[in-house]
Amino acid sequence: MTPQAKTMADALSREYFERALHVSPGGVHSPVRAFKGVGGTPIFFRSAEGATMTSVDGREYIDFCQSFGPLMLGHRDPEVMEAVEEMISTAWSFGACEPYSLKLAEWITSRLPWVEMLRFVSSGTEAVMSALRVARAATGRNRVLKFEGCYHGHSDSLLVKAGSGLAGVAASSSAGVSANVAGETLVAPLDDEEAVRGVFAEYGGEIAAVILEPLPANYGLLIQRREFIEETIRLARDHGALVIFDEVISGFRVALGGMAEVLGIRPDLVTYGKVIGGGFPVACYGGRRDLMELLAPVGPVYQAGTLSANPVGMRAGLATLQKIERVDAYGQLEERTARFCDALDSELLRRGSPVQVTRKASIFWLHSRTKETIRRIDQIPAGHADEFARIFHVALKGGVYLSPSGYEVNFMSLAHSDELLERAQKAILSAIGGPM
């Protein structure tokens, strides 16, 4: 592509973005898409296939964002597409009972023993919000304990951050969230058993549930020690609080049973999203039968959704999960991600680069190099975001699309071929620089 063509391409995305600013807040429908974390004008894409996306000007990019995680098979996998096209030619939405959600629910519950019952919703936010409502109803308590650096969607009670003063006290992290609502959520640091003990010592009898990303991946990839997770769960159960695993990202991504399977831990409730919809807006929450039967129309907890269990998403999700299981996607992705990330990290280390790669299963994160594993947000080096922004744009010029924030993770798919990964590694190394 000639320099003039590149300029025209940039101009086309700028034109779309300027138009979008007039009709949508910030020109986007989810904040990270605006490139605020990396600067510059966001690229508008017109199509995608496999491991690549094509921009409105016709330029192809190797995609490691993969719609922020759902696309384990890559964009528009042929088997999933066949199921989707067949469903669209049959029905789009019923607003009534249908067999497609039944088949997906039976598939999930037959494989995950801790999910005795589930309910489909349309987003991870909705799944978490509903699971917390069930937990409060089941325990008769109001408080929830979450952890700094874990993201659980944008419902009011979870848009909080650690406050000052007593351990656990929270403050709103968004305008429009009342102090009363924020006050019902307690916040503790990750990787700090003593702090969690302090919260339970102060508020143990008031806590309905502990909600935890067992693999925090929304503020970098903060891999937790098993001992921390196990102690947190022990404290919750000793105090009569429920344990909720938020596996919207890690569920069906790190293993068929997500981190619950990896850790061998049975949560009381769990939330899933992303992968279970195969790229369509599908999420669910599930868990113990006695808890799920608190939901209407069986029990007193109300939750509903006009487009919940949309048949197109149900068919896409089932086709995705069936293929993942059939082809042993986890073994393939583990090997592919390890080979790519370890080779990249070794070369960065050889060059004396200040950047390193952290990985878990098919998820990886580029960040400033540290001596110890980063497990808490206060351990992320100062200047990390600025350095990532520079890397992001140079990699972008080299045809690689990373998730557009230094605090977002990246995802491998089965569609990332050896040839594409070799190209991507060269582009990222060029972006990071350092002596050859």
Question: Is 302 a known active-site residue?
Answer: no
The amino acid that residue 294 corresponds to is: L
Question: Is 246 a known active-site residue?
Answer: yes
Cα(120)–Cα(281) distance, integer angstroms:
10
- 63, 77, 146, 151: which one is catalytic? 151
Cα(80)–Cα(321) distance, integer angstroms:
10
Q: Residue 422 contacts by C-beta under 8 Å, 6 or more apart in sequence?
A: none
- 63, 77, 246, 268: which one is catalytic? 246
Q: Give me 418's structure tokens.
A: 């050896």
Question: Is 192 a known active-site residue?
Answer: no
What is the β-pairing status of strands 60-63 and 52-55? antiparallel
Cα(357)–Cα(365) distance, integer angstroms:
6
**Can the peptide bond before residue 189 be classed as cis, meaning omega within 30 degrees of 0?**
no
Q: Residue 243 contacts by C-beta under 8 Å, 6 or more apart in sequence?
A: 209, 210, 212, 233, 236, 237, 267, 268, 269
SS (H, E, C) the chain: CCHHHHHHHHHHHHHHHHHHHHHCHHHCCCHHHHCCCCCCCCCCEEEEEECEEEECCCCEEEECCHHHCCCCCCECCHHHHHHHHHHHCCCCCCCCCCHHHHHHHHHHHHHCCCCCEEEEECCHHHHHHHHHHHHHHHHCCCEEEEEECCCCCCCHHHCEEECCCCCECEEECCCCCCHHHHHCEEEEECCCHHHHHHHHHHHHHHEEEEEECCCCCCCCCCCCCHHHHHHHHHHHHHCCCEEEEEECCCECCCECCHHHHHHCCCCCEEEECHHHHCCCCCEEEEECHHHHCCECCCCCECCCCCCCCCHHHHHHHHHHHHHHHHCCHHHHHHHHHHHHHHHHHHHHHHCCCCEEEEEECCEEEEEECCCCCCCCHHHCCCCHHHHHHHHHHHHHHCCEECCCCCCCCEECCCCCCHHHHHHHHHHHHHHHCCCC
- 203, 272, 274, 407: which one is catalytic? 274
- Residues with a catalytic annotation lie at 151, 246, 274
